[in-house]
Amino acid sequence: MSLLVKICGLKTPETVAAALEAGADMVGFVFFPRSPRNVSLTEAALLAEPVRGRAGIVALTVDATDDDLAAIVDVLRPDLLQLHGAETPKRAAAVRARFGVPVMKAVRIAEAADLAPVAAFAPHVDRFLFDAKPPPALAGALPGGNGLAFDWRLVRDLDPGRPYMLSGGLDPANVARAIAVTRTPAVDVSSGVESAPGVKDPDRIRAFLREARAGAAGAAGEAAA
């Protein structure tokens, strides 16, 4: 199976280079001040220079205003806008129409009922990202990048009507198993390749790419057997 791998929340030239050299298909930049992975537009534009033409550039936003999105689109010129907040299907459709950039909507999951909004979003987005929903005890947690996983079996046989990425708690040690369970076409990682919140580890980035590719190859072999 052909697997897409996204490394999200990059902040330094060294980690961008590690992601590209290891074969990442997408790299993500976070525009959310509360996140330890937050970058300024100027920083992101500089980091994205070596990425353009080699991997997809993803801008992660959380309930961003039209003015914020306009600045991101103008300065960064992303290939994908990731909506990681409480955006509605109507808002996703408006963003997609106004800015002419493909949209990926994050859906946070803890139980099967959390997949209910997928049908409403599907006509208005180009891709989904299935992330873990923080438990009530972590009500103040960030929208993503919390290092939490959900029950991957919930999306194993799901056809959301759009391509999707699996996220939430993935790391080099479990990504191959996650791929085997879900047969996901794409994976996304952030905190799972960090040595501290917001601090990406080039060695862990390389390990994640290596294990993800091996997991995809193993899943493809099983499917063909």
β strands within the chain, DSSP E = 4-8, 26-31, 56-61, 80-83, 103-109, 127-132, 164-166, 186-189, 194-196, 199-200
C-alpha span between 115 and 157 (Å, rounded): 12
Residues labelled catalytic: 8, 131
Phi/psi of residue 97, nearest 5 degrees: -70, -40
Amino acid (one-letter) located at 95: V
Q: Are 198 and 37 in contact (CB under 8 A)?
A: yes
